[in-house]
Amino acid sequence: MAAMNGRKAAECDAVAVDPLERARRMLDTGEPGLSELSAAVGLSVSHLQRSFRRRFGLSPADYLAQRKLGSLRASLREGRDVSAALYDAGYGSPSRVYETGAARLGMTPARYRAGGDGEDVRWSLVDTVLGQALVATTQRGICMVELGEDAAALEAKLHAEFPRARLQRVDAGRDEFLAPRVRAVADALAGHEAQVPLALLGTAFQKRVWDALMKIPRGQTRSYAELAASLGAPRAARAVASACAHNRVAVVVPCHRVIRGDGSLGGYRWGLDMKRGLLERESAA
């Protein structure tokens, strides 16, 4: 017990002397403005902004937005009333979450609570150089690319991702909306240049990581630490790895181009054999 109390005391002391950790704790428990944070932790506004982003990968405002959005998601998943969930998460009015939160959820809070109920998702299976690929799209763009050999397993993953959306399987060659998107994905998986409209649903930091991934030239790799540093957040390597793990769009968002600092492959949602093969093909090309 004494040892435990000692550790807690040490943690409190660390927070007391670390202004960035103090700022983070304040954002976790309230909604302080930037000027209030700056005065409380003894850093200028500009220094606080730069240092907080470098440490945590987000500005204080984005960190607060993510914390509120996380609370909203949890409440909605628990089946709470939408209005109560909005106010409990800290949104001052319903209009605020529809202006900001709906965009990050990818749909309105009511639809998110209902597992995507009301969303139209069209999908098709296509044979590619990497095997079968399931391509799913909303009106905003491609929302999912899954790879695998078992068509039933691919469809099951789609249903798990969008349990209550209106899922419509179509013949990609006969659907004017889906056909060009499926062809673009197949071209991208074959290693050709292709413009693929995407509907990437994630947090602000995840989207920054995914955007950075798409800027890595074909045939090159980056370590998790290098990618974090390129985002101005050198201590966020683990958060970068988490964003890669949550990427739903195989190859088009090339998380296979991120490896460990020692040169080993690290993880990959679609299997290390697939990752190794992709890197070898791109390197040879």
- Span 23-53, pLDDT tens digits: 989 888 878 888 899 999 999 999 998 888 8
Q: What is the pLDDT of residue 102?
A: 45
Q: How long is the chain?
A: 285
What's the CA gap between 267 and 276, in Å, rounded?
11
What's the CA gap between 255 and 202, in Å, rounded?
15
> Residue 121 above 70 pLDDT?
yes
- What is the residue type of 109? P
Q: Pick the closest to residue 139 from 100, 110, 168 (CA basis).
A: 168
Mean pLDDT of 125-146: 87
Alpha helices in 42-177 (DSSP H): 45-56, 60-77, 82-88, 94-96, 102-105, 109-113, 151-161
What's the CA gap between 265 and 39, in Å, rounded?
44
Q: Pick the closest to residue 203 from 242, 164, 173, 234 (CA basis).
A: 242
What's the CA gap between 216 and 257, in Å, rounded?
7
Q: According to the CATH classification, is domain 120-189 in 3.30.160.70?
A: yes
Q: Pick the closest to residue 59 from 101, 27, 29 (CA basis).
A: 27
Mean pLDDT of 85-95: 60
204-284: which CATH topology? Arc Repressor Mutant, subunit A (1.10.10)
Q: Which residues are catalytic?
A: 255
Q: What is the pLDDT of residue 224?
A: 95
Q: Pick the closest to residue 136 from 100, 93, 106 (CA basis).
A: 106
What does the DSSP 8-state code read for residue 172? G
> Residue 71 above 90 pLDDT?
no
Higher pLDDT, 30 or 247: 247
Task: Tell me the pTM.
Answer: 0.61
Residue 277 burial (CB count, 10 A): 14
Kindly list the domain boundaries of the chain, sorted by start residue: 2-57, 62-111, 120-189, 204-284
Q: What is the pLDDT of residue 214?
A: 92
Mean pLDDT of 62-73: 74
Alpha helices in 78-203 (DSSP H): 82-88, 94-96, 102-105, 109-113, 151-161, 178-189
Take residue 178 and report the two structure tokens written for it. 């889906």
Take residue 155 and report the two structure tokens written for it. 């469809």
Mean pLDDT of 234-244: 89
> Residue 3 above 70 pLDDT?
no
What's the CA gap between 205 and 62, in Å, rounded?
8
